[in-house]
Amino acid sequence: MLSLAIRDLEVSFPGLERPALAIPDLSLAPGERIAVTGPSGCGKTTFINIVTGLERVRRGRVSWQDTDLAALSEAGRDRWRAKNVGLVMQDFHLFPGLSAIDNVLLPKRLAAFRLAAGMAGEAERLLKRVGIERLDQPVETMSRGQMQRVAVARALVGKPSVVVADEPTASLDADSGAAVADLLLELAEAAGVTLIVASHERRLVDRLERVLRMESGRIVSDAPQARASRVPVPA
């Protein structure tokens, strides 16, 4: 697990009078499970892109343990992210024409010449854990809820230290969203990873242990909350 320290971070874009993101000081302990929430346009996605290395840090410091993302090249950030971060995005980013298990394994195939020992077995285990029985089913024939389950398995297959989810239930109906939230939280806890979830949906935000609320690119509140009970996911 990795800790996160942000100091004097500012992210600006051309045409904007004020920074899109301004965080003077923020720390996350290893294994924390936090929600980042706020209205549309508040800076949640920019925050996610910065802490995962998808966007370059031009001003300030964003450090995961001893790694300062601001000091890494784009290729360096890509290598760091592939090793340490599992991503779950609103639009899934799955590849049509590939099966469920091939989608889970594809990022690991692209990152190395060969799969690590046991990786295929771990992919199979995770897919069954999230309720995908047909491992060879093409993802384009799946429901949106099933696609997001595949994405959750893909995020966890490499045993990352950090799992980051950007609006993971926003495009799902209420039942599918609740099921995916259950799976994401249960599996992240079982794996002992640091979990960051950007979401405006109360059904998910209320189940995280710490909530950062953002407005206009600033963190306006940072508060712990009691852990909600969760329905265990069947093994």
Tokens standing for residue 213: 């609320």
CA distance to 21, 133, 135, 151, 197, per residue, from 92 (Å): 25, 19, 17, 6, 15
Percentage of residues of the chain with pLDDT beyond 70:
95
Q: Which of 159, 170, 26, 25 has its CA nearest to residue 92?
A: 170
Nearest 10 degrees: CA dihedral of 186, 142, 154, 33? -30
DSSP H helical ranges for 5-73: 44-51
Q: What pLDDT, on a 0 to 100 scale, did the predictor assign at position 113? A: 66
* Whole-number pLDDT of residue 235: 39
Residue 108, token pair as written in the block: 């690991």
pTM here?
0.90
124-128, 165-169, 199-203, 225-229: least confidently modelled range: 225-229
Q: What confidence score (pLDDT) does residue 227 get?
A: 57
Could you tell me which of 164, 214, 211 has the C-alpha nearest to residue 9? 214
SS3 193: coil
Say if strands 4-11 and 59-64 run parallel, antiparallel, or are unpaired.
Answer: antiparallel
**Do residues 4 and 64 make contact, with C-beta atoms less than 8 angstroms apart?**
yes
Res. 220 pLDDT band, cuts 50 70 90: very high
DSSP H/E element including 68: strand 67-68
pLDDT tens string 176-200: 999 999 999 999 999 999 999 999 8
Q: How far apart are CA 135 and CA 79, in angstroms?
A: 28
Each residue's pLDDT tens digit, 115-152: 777 889 999 999 999 999 999 999 999 999 999 999 99
**Pairing of the two strands 194-198 and 162-166:** parallel
Give the integer Cα–Cα distance in Å for 36 and 45: 9
CATH class of 4-224: alpha beta
Q: Is-contact 156 108, C-beta < 8 A?
A: no
b/e 212-231 (16+ beta carbons within 10 angstroms → b) = bbbeebbbeeeeeeeeeeee
Residues 6+ apart with CB under 8 A from 102: 95
d(CA 156, CA 92): 14
Residue 35's pLDDT is 97
As a whole number of Å, the CA-based R_g of the chain is: 17
User: pLDDT of 93-115, one tens digit each?
Assistant: 999 999 999 999 998 887 776 77
Q: Which residues contact 87 (CB under 8 A, 6 or more apart)?
A: 52, 81, 93, 155, 163, 164, 165, 166
- Using DSSP's 3-state secondary structure scheme, residue 93 falls into coil
